[in-house]
Amino acid sequence: MSPGIEPRASTPGKNPHSAQAAQRMIREELPVVRAAALAWRNGLAGLLAGLLGFSLIKGRSDVSQLSAPWRFAVGVLLLAALTTGAYGAMRLLRAAHGRPRKRPLESVRSRLAADRDEAGESLAALDRGVAATLACAALLAAAVAVTWYGPAAAKPKLRVVVQGETICGSVISAANDRLTLSTENGERVIDLAQAAGFAPVTDCGT
Amino acid sequence: MSGEHEPLPYQETTSDEYAIHAKETFEIVKTKDGSLALVGSCKRCGHAMEFLIAKDGVTRTWLARLTGARNRVLDPALALPALADDEDGAQMICACEQEHPGRPDGYLGCGAYWDVAVTMS
- pLDDT, tens digit, 9 for 90 and up, residues A102-138: 888 877 889 999 999 999 999 999 999 999 999 998 9
Whether A59 is in a domain gets the answer: yes
The answer on A36 and A135 residing in a single domain is yes
A131, amino acid identity: A
Residues A116 and A142 reside in one and the same domain: yes
pLDDT at A157: 86
Q: What is the mean pLDDT of residues B116-120?
A: 84
Mutant choice from B11, B52, B114 vs A, greatest count of A C-beta within 10 A = B52
CB-based contact, A33 to chain B, within 8 Å: yes
| A4 is a domain residue | no
Residues A35 and A64 in one domain: yes
The pLDDT value recorded for residue B69 is: 45
Q: Say if residue A89 is in the same domain as residue A164.
A: no
| A39, B68 Cβ separation under 8 angstroms | yes
- Could you tell me if A53 and A128 lie in one domain? yes
Q: How wide is the angle at C-alpha A61 spanned by C-alphas A57 and A62, nearest 5°?
A: 130
ipTM > 0.85 for the complex: no
Minimum distance, in Å, between the CA of residue B77 and any CA atom of chain A? 9
Q: Does A45 touch chain B (CB under 8 A)?
A: no
* A78, A145: one domain: yes
Q: What is the pLDDT of residue B9?
A: 96
> Are both A179 and A128 inside the same structural domain?
no
A77-86, A169-178, B24-33: least confidently modelled range: A169-178
Q: Do the beta carbons of residue A173 and residue A180 sit within 8 Å?
A: yes
The whole-angstrom separation of Cα A185 and Cα B57 is 74
Residues 162-201 of A with CB under 8 A from B: none
Q: Locate the chain B residue with the closest alpha carbon to A34.
A: B69
Residue A184 in this model has a pLDDT that exceeds 90: no
Domain for residue A74, yes or no?
A: yes
Kindly state whether residues A46 and A88 are assigned to the same domain: yes
A-interface mutation test, from B39, B44, B50, most A Cβ less than 10 A away: B50
- Reported confidence tier of residue B109, pLDDT bands at 50, 70, 90: very high
Residue of A nearest to B26 (CA): A5
Q: What is the tally of helices (H) and strands (E) in chain A?
A: 3, 6
DSSP type of residue A142: H
* pLDDT tens by residue, B2-55: 445 688 999 999 999 999 999 999 999 999 988 899 999 999 999 999 999 988
Is A9's Cβ below 8 Å from some Cβ in B?
yes
Residue A107 forms contact with B (CB below 8 Å): no
Q: What is the domain range of residue A144?
A: 22-101+110-149
Q: Are A96 and A187 in the same domain?
A: no
Residue A206 resides in a domain:
no
Task: State how beta strands B112-120 and B13-14 pair.
Answer: parallel
Q: Is the Cβ–Cβ distance between A54 and A81 less than 8 Å?
A: no
CA-based torsion, A8, A14, A18, A20: positive or negative: positive
CA angle A68, A70, A71 (to 5 degrees): 65
Q: Nearest Cβ partner of B117 from A6, A15, A29?
A: A6
Domain total for chain A? 2
Do A93 and A188 lie in one domain? The reply is no
- Kindly determine whether residue B52 and residue A23, on different chains, have CB atoms separated by under 8 Å: yes
Has residue A47 been placed in a domain?
yes
**Buried/exposed code over A119-144 (b: 16+ C-beta within 10 A; e: otherwise):** bbbbbebbebbbebbebbbebbebbb
pTM over 0.80: no
- The residue of chain B with its CA nearest to that of A12 is B14
Q: What is the CATH number of the domain that holds A197?
A: 2.30.30.100
In chain B, what residues touch A6 (CB-CB under 8 Å)? 23, 116-117, 119
What does the pLDDT look like over B45-85, one tens digit per residue? 999 999 999 888 887 766 555 554 433 333 333 333 344 44
